[in-house]
Amino acid sequence: MTFTDRTCVVTGASRGIGRGIAEELGSQGANVVVNYHYSTDAAEEAAAAVEEAGGDAIAVQADVTDRDDVATMAERTHETFGPVDVLVNNAGITQDTKFESMSRDDWDRVIDVNLSGAFNTTKAFFSDVKSAEDGRLINISSVIGKQGNYGQANYAAAKSGLFGLTRSLALELASHESTANVVAPGYTKTDMIEGVREDIKDRIREGIPLDRFAEIEEIACVVRFLASEDASYVTGEVIDVNGAMDL
């Protein structure tokens, strides 16, 4: 399973799950565009890690909510690597608060990044993915998009919205033999979860039948499979990687 000469864009790839995905694709020989918003140093480190893993990489700054930024990212990607074969929409944020306290800004910001951001980047690279041999669109959602969560109405709505977007695009891409799928992780060992108090982490683990958090690599390898030729007959699916949280 090789990705040599295949170009992959991963949004929100300077750290966490996004960086893990970028490194995993790089380890298969891919050209990887490491997209980031603010963290220039972290993005450059991620790009270097991709190259150490065996791929080629560039770090490209773009706010996925800004269509001009996304257009510039697409232009730079095309100039460096040519058309895109794989787009992984991973960029996301949280702004948690109870719904009765949630401002319209809290709502808009999370929807703009997590859902409209995926629209913007998909719009920019859709013709590439559609025209590619084994084109792949992979959206990173969350178990929260399936279950909901207290204080996360905005995040749950955005992540759930990716299900409908992806399934609709899977139908549009099917006649071109390109695919669209969702990966929906559960709680994963990222900086975000590491910053949570131990007693709260213990309560979260109680709701996970496998009794542990996912490793970033366990998410990344599922993305790698969906991006590969081996997944050519998998499309329109939501792949759960959550330790059986929603069974």
Catalytic positions: 155
Q: How far is residue 201's CA from residue 108's CA, in Å, rounded to a whole number?
A: 28
Q: How far is residue 113's CA from residue 163's CA, in Å, rounded to a whole number?
A: 16
What's the first-to-final CA gap in the chain, in angstroms?
A: 31
The helix/strand/coil state of 245 is coil
Backbone angles phi, psi at 58, to 5 degrees: -135, 150
Residue with tokens 């770090």: 59
Contacts of 160 (CB under 8 A, 6+ apart): 141, 145, 146
- Give the DSSP letter string of 31-62: EEEEEESS-HHHHHHHHHHHHHHT-EEEEEE-
